[in-house]
Amino acid sequence: MYTRAIVRRPGRNLASGITTSNLGQPDFNKALEQHAAYCDALKRCGVELTVLEADERYPDGCFVEDTAVVNNMVKVISRPGAASRRGEEEEIARVLAGFGPPESITPPGTLEGGDVLRAENHYFIGLSARTNTEGARQLSAILSKHGFTSAVIRVEAGLHLKSDIAYLGNGNFISTPVFSEIAHPANTIIPDRDEYYSANCLRVNDYLLIPIGFPKSKMQIRKLSYEIIELEMSEFRKMDGGLTCLSLLF
């Protein structure tokens, strides 16, 4: 059960962030509207929000998920693999310190939260362009101290592990074919190719947040009896972002 979330508003220089989407530049005002709707949805899910102001030094700063790995037992400050994002984690560390001393990924390790997928008490840690073997090793050791198991898997394509897979709760996953082997096929929704973006969903307590505009995936998810909240994510998608990217939940 999540009770808290940390978010950061997008900055006016959002379009200067890192992206490979080729979907055009995000509209700042639309991004603000979509972020506000996202925050409202989290409140509807029953979490208390800490809303950080935009930091124009870091155009990718609204994607706070990458700065830490958190649960109700341990908080781990990441070390972003993208050099331009190093420093984003500093304010997050100060906020999380209010909930107990956090641990940290240290050099030469790199790790971004978008590569870390929790399924109950087990974590999948993706090795990607942003998360290296040493970062994964450090996180695995920290999680083990707190009673969590983990497995390391390679991210062959895409930005992050969670760009292509989400854990929906109740043993269910949604995944593009690249990571469909993580769970039993009977418990995994495989979106159609034109709806791969829908694999980035976010389970928050009794609700499942999904991106709007993917009717086939929505129909499959609805069959599993989840309470769905649909959100427009177009401007963040342009920056390789998704629903999981915009918050730290614990």
**Would you name the residues annotated as active-site residues?**
160, 245
Q: In this structure, is the dihedral angle defined by the CA atoms of residues 119, 211, 69 and 16, taken in order, positive or negative?
A: positive
Contact 233, 244 (CB under 8 A): no
**Which 3 state secondary structure label does DSSP give 240?**
coil
Residue 224 corresponds to which tokens in the numbers above? 């599993």
Measured CA to CA, the distance from residue 94 to residue 235 in angstroms comes to 28
As a whole number of angstroms, the distance between CA 125 and CA 114 comes to 9
* SS3 (DSSP) at 183: coil
**Of 155, 170, 139, nearest in space to 74 by CA:** 139
User: What CA–CA distance (Å, rounded) separates 96 from 108?
Assistant: 23
The C-alpha angle 108, 55, 33, rounded to 5 degrees, equals 120
Helix (H) or strand (E) holding 173: strand 172-175
